[in-house]
Amino acid sequence: MQLKTAAKMIADVSSVAVLTGAGVSTASGIPDFRSTTGLWTADEAREYYISNYYFHKDPVDFWGKYKDIFRVKLLKDYGPNHVHRYLKDLEMHGKQITVITQNVDGLHTLAGSEHVIEYHGTLNSATCPNCGRSFDLPYLLETETPICEKCGHVLKPDVVLFGDPITEHDSAEKAIQQSELVLVLGTSLLVSPFNILPEYANSLGKPSILINREPTVMDELFDVVIHDDLSKVVQQLQK
Ligand code: CNA
């Protein structure tokens, strides 16, 4: 029943803001953080190691931990799955889709989605804090600690680290304002300020759907809640 309602809600609108989290990429082989099989449970100190504070304290050790936690060396081996492709398909069928993602793997863009707001940045590049020059993933993998080839500074990842400001919040809110429906996929909604966005959508009276394997602390905000595997649900939505 919930599935049918969700399918109709999506079919009936021409614009959707899609808020995604790590659960969208698990079918690509990238573990999430907080579910029972996630990367986070093993070591709570991970939050500290991928913080702005630790980057400044010990940039060399930071880069080792960062590459390890986000499995940066494996990134080139991961590809979009049918959840990413489903969102691109909606776009191809004429809907205005804005993906607002917490994911840092770049897979929505790789799947061809045209409007992607990378709320927590990307693993695919890093920037020199001194001269602002940008470097791509292959360069970051050449050395253990990537250094700016122009001025010798240790590069800073383009991922938003704990303690970094969020620069995309306003554009995310704007995308929600301009969309008729909000679809939230594969996120625990535990990370702030991203988790303010569903509340914001609710305050604007936007209809909303949540699809996540496990219950979240915000389930009651949504008109439709489906607790199931995303790949399975998406296949059913496409029927
Ligand atoms: P999270 O807190 O790990 O939550 C993920 C949620 O997804 C959980 O509630 C799971 O139940 C759910 N989930 C996992 N697999 C599936 C599935 N197949 N079908 C349905 N639901 C599923 O991750 P969030 O995204 O909520 O937290 C935000 C963090 C995670 C961001 O800062 C990201 O940078 C970070 N992260 C990103 C990636 C990535 O880019 N792929 C991977 C791991 C962590």
Distance (angstroms) between ligand 1 centre and the Cα of 186 equals 6
Per the annotation, the verdict on 120 as an active-site residue is: yes
Q: Complex ipTM above 0.90?
A: yes
DSSP 8-25: HHHHT-SEEEEEE-GGGT
The answer to whether 191 is annotated as binding is: no
| Rg over CA atoms, the chain | 18
* Least confident stretch, 2-11, 63-72, 106-115: 63-72
Res 38 pLDDT > 80: no
Residues 171 and 206 in one domain: yes
> Does 231 lie in the same domain as 173?
yes
Q: How many folded domains does the chain comprise? A: 2
Q: Do 86 and 4 fall within a single domain?
A: yes
Tell me the pLDDT tens digit for each residue of 84-140: 999 999 999 999 999 999 999 999 999 999 999 999 999 999 999 999 999 999 999
Question: Is the separation of the CB atoms in 44 and 31 below 8 Å?
Answer: no
Instruction: Out of 56, 120, 153, 169, pick the active-site residue.
Output: 120
The band of 40, judged by pLDDT with boundaries at 50, 70 and 90, is: low
Separation of CA 65 and ligand 1 centre (Å): 19
Q: Which two tokens stand for residue 28?
A: 């690509």
Assigned token pair, 146: 């990537």
Residues 179 and 239 in one domain: yes
Q: Which domain holds residue 228?
A: 1-30+81-120+166-239
Each residue's pLDDT tens digit, 183-203: 999 999 999 999 999 999 999
Global confidence as pTM:
0.95
**Same domain membership, residue 209 and residue 146:** no
Are 237 and 212 in contact, with CB atoms under 8 Å apart?
A: no
From residue 145, alpha-carbon distances to 58, 63, 95, 198, 227 in Å are 11, 6, 43, 37, 41
